Amino acid sequence: MAELPEDIKQTIERYNNPPNKLRSVQEINARYRQTLDNYKKICFTSGDVREQKVAVHAEIKILGWVLGKPDKDVIKDITEHSNRPVFPIQLPT
């Protein structure tokens, strides 16, 4: 029998032993809440934490997307956990 190319061997191995298992909704939701808390800690940290904020912000958005949350709800959650003041919506009169 002919030897399989290396990339096919790796694909078969990954298929037989997946690196990540599927997570339950409860696990994803817990991770979402935990990441929001981490974001809050980063926002109130002094120093240059821009890269950390961007990375955690992206993770929150992805987890929110996985949970099926509307984008506006995810942004609202992020804003509530940041150090930015939340101003009421001002409607034109």
Q: What is the pLDDT of residues 26-51, one digit of tens each?
A: 988 999 999 999 999 888 887 888 88
In a domain, 67, yes or no: yes
In a domain, 76, yes or no: yes
Q: In the chain, how many domains are there?
A: 1
For residue 63, pLDDT beyond 70: yes
In a domain, 10, yes or no: no
Cα 80 to its chain centre, rounded Å, is 16
In a domain, 91, yes or no: no
Look at 26 and 18; give whichever has higher pLDDT: 26
**Beta-carbon-side half-sphere exposure of residue 37 (alpha carbons within 13 Å):** 6
In a domain, 8, yes or no: no
In a domain, 32, yes or no: yes
For residue 47, give its domain range.
24-80
Tokens 């926002």 locate to: 43
Question: What does pTM read for this prediction?
Answer: 0.66
Residue 44 neighbours by CB under 8 Å, 6+ apart: 83
Q: What is the pLDDT of residue 33?
A: 94
